[in-house]
Every structure is written in structure tokens, then in C-alpha cells.
Structure 1
Amino acid sequence: MIRQGWDQFSLYLPVLLMGLLALGTWWLVRNAPAPQLQAVERGTSNQPDYFMKSFSVKSFDANGRLQSEVQGEVARHFPNTDTLEIEKARMRSVSPEGQLTLATADRALTNADASEVQLFGNAVVTREPLPGKAGAPKQPRMEFRSEFLHAYTKTERVRSDKPVILIRGNDQFTADAMDYDHLDQVMQLRGRVRGILQPGVAR
């Protein structure tokens, strides 16, 4: 019973994590101001070469519809690693179908092309349900919690070596660590793995 519930749950993880992190951080990195330091300095300095405060970066499609937004209290670019660090990161992404995905963390770290995104401290990613169509079952709200999440957007992989909580509707799963590979459709939960499945609502 737990395995069946988990199989259903894992189908939505790529949409929950990859869409938000890939879109949001890509636009933030692309719209950040270009550093003014020389190439030699960029290779040796471990101090930020620019920063942004209380910022918000939004992207829109050709029709003017919001696709993604990244907000934070402070963002710093480190030239020696070409990474962007965001304090109090808040991200949102809207799919073409209107699916809303949100993410928050105390700190986020992304590389130059946003192929790797790390969320540190109180990392929460939620996927809100789409408005139900007539005759179609409504998908439940999903939530993913951990003190650390590491997403590889190009290879569609998400891992964490910290305890994780996965919530789908009223069902909940916990584990000490996890590694999810969407391309191979493999989810590995390690340590103490537990699942609570609530009975469906009678119609």
C-alpha cells in the first residue's frame, strides 16, 4: 500500500522541483549585472564582485504572462566560482497550464548556467493543484521539505543527505536522505523510511 502511494507521489517530483528551479534561477543569473573585474581578478578573488538588495527578477512569455519570479533580500556573485548566493530566496513558477510551484529557503546557491541549484535551511517546495476540470479528478497539493536540497536541472536529478518530508495531499513520507533520478525513474530513500497513507474520501 505504501509502495503504491509512493509510486504515485514520485511521478510529480520533477514538475515540483525542476520547473521552478530551472526557470527561476536561469532568469536571475541571466538578468544579473555583468561583473566589472578583469579576467585575472575573477579567477583569484573569493570576495563578491557585485550584489543586489531586496531584488525581484521576473520573466514573461510572448503574451506578457508571468512565467517565473525570483526574490531575495541579498544576492552576491562570487567570481572565483562564478556562483550566485541568495539570502531569503523566494521563487515561483507558473507552467503554461497555470500550474503554480513555489520554493523558499534561507539561502540558495546556483552556478552560472543554473544547472545546479542548492537550497539551504528551511527549504520548502510546494506545487499547488490545478483548478479541476469538469469530470476530471483534482490533483492534490504537494510539498517537499528538507534542510538541504540539491537539484541538477540538466540531468533531472534531486538529492539530499538531510532528512526529508514528502507530502502529497494527506499522505506523508519521511526518510533520512533521498536521491531521485527522473530520467531513470528511480527514487532511493535511505535511513529510516516511513509512510502514512490516509484513506480516500468517500464519495
Structure 2
Amino acid sequence: MNAFRRLLDQLSVYLPLIVMALLASGSWWLVRSAPELLAPTTNKPVRQDPDYRLADFSVKSFDITGRMTREVSGDKAQHYPATEALDIDQIRIYAESETGATMNAKAVQGIATDDGTRVTLIGDAYAIRHPHGTSAQVELRGERLEALPDEDRLVSSDPVHITRDRDVYTAETMNFNSNTGEYVLQGRVRGTLMPKTKP
């Protein structure tokens, strides 16, 4: 009886190790034989066709006071998830800066990013900044203009034609601040300055 009791005492010392070994081997077997709960993530191809379409639409933006600061409208539009952009036919834009300067723009086609930070005007692009304060009216024409609404800027890496009052300029690239009316022209720049007429 004493020998049996000594054997039980010795086994009780190793019992936790034996139980842990059995549990570990059982867990290993379970993981190996059970199907994967989560299938490995694969990069699904991004949808190439439009996920929604618009017709005769208008999208307006307002500031915290309720004043409308921007309106983008068009005849038709299609949104492409692959490029995260909205392609717009016959795009028209109205924008008003914090200082009250207003601008209108239009083109045959427009491409607006989902976050609204860039709108590209393509095909017979035209923009006009209306007179404001001491700033004269400025008209911009080109085949491609890029509007950056958050920065109140219009930029172009293509040739542009600019009319400021009666003065006319042409340049290969342009960076125009629609808030201040200032613009930077680069490349081959030409200008025709007309004499000021007396009021």
C-alpha cells in the first residue's frame, strides 16, 4: 500500500506537465485539422466600369456661415472607382473666395477627384474672374486647365491665352491665384499692353 502511495505521490508531481503536454498536442492537432477561419485576403480587381451616373446635376459647397462657396454642374457624369474620379460632360463651375472674388469656368469635359481637391477642365476650357475691388477682370483660355479649389488656384501646363482688361498675354504654363488675381507665366511669354483709357 505504501509503495502504491509513493507511486501516486511521484505521479502527482509530474501530472501538471503531462496535462500541459496533452493540451498542447491537442491544440496543435486542432489547428492542423480545422479549416482556415479567415481566407487569405487577395487583392480584388478594382471595378473598371462606372458605379453610378448623374444627369443634369449640380453639387454645391457651403462654408460654416451657410454662404455658397462652390457649385459644380454638368449635363452628364460617371463615377469610376478605379480612378476615384467623376467624369463630367459640359462641366460648369462657380466659385467664390473668402474675400468675395467670384469666378466662373466651363469646358467640354471635366474630371473631378473624389476628395474635391482637383478639377481638370479639358477641351475649350474657359475661366473668368470677375472684377473685384481694385482687381481687373481676367479671362483664361486653353485646352486644359486645372482648378485647385482649396488653394483658390488655376494652373495649366499647356499653352494659355489670358485677357486682363484690354491686355492680352500668352504663355506655355500658368499658375493663377483666383483670390488675389495674380498669375505666374512661364515658358514663351508674350504680351500686348493697351494704353489706359480715361474715364
Normalised-by-shorter TM-score class: 0.5 to 0.7
Q: 2:69 pairs with 67, 70, 81, which one?
A: 67
Task: Say which SS state the counterpart of residue 116 (structure 2) adopts.
Answer: coil
Higher radius of gyration, 1 or 2: 2
Flag the structure with more relative contact order, 1 or 2, with Cα contacts below 8 A and sequence separation at least 6: 1
TM-score, normalization: structure 2? Answer: 0.66
- AA paired with 1:194? R
Aligned equivalents of 1:187 and 1:118: distance in 2?
19
Structure 1: runs of 5+ lacking an equivalent = 1-39, 133-137
Aligned equivalents of 2:63 and 2:149: distance in 1?
21
- AA paired with 2:141? R
What are the equivalent positions in structure 2 for 1:21-100 lying under 5 Å apart?
43-100=45-102
Q: 2:143 pairs with 144, 147, 150, which one?
A: 147
Deviation at 1:190? 2.2
2:193 alignment counterpart: 197
> Does residue 158 of structure 1 match 2:160?
no
Identity %: 35
- AA paired with 1:123? A
Deviation at 1:100? 1.4
Q: How many residues are paired up?
A: 153
Report if the CA contact (8 A) 2:169-2:192 is conserved. yes
- AA paired with 1:129? P
Deviation at 1:126? 0.7
Aligned equivalents of 1:172 and 1:46: distance in 2?
43
Q: 2:173 pairs with 166, 174, 178, which one?
A: 178
Aligned equivalents of 2:116 and 2:64: distance in 1?
22
Report if the CA contact (8 A) 2:57-2:73 is conserved. yes
2:117 alignment counterpart: 115
Deviation at 1:180? 2.9
Deviation at 1:157? 7.1
Aligned equivalents of 2:142 and 2:175: distance in 1?
14
Q: 1:167 pairs with 163, 167, 170, which one?
A: 163
- AA paired with 1:118? T
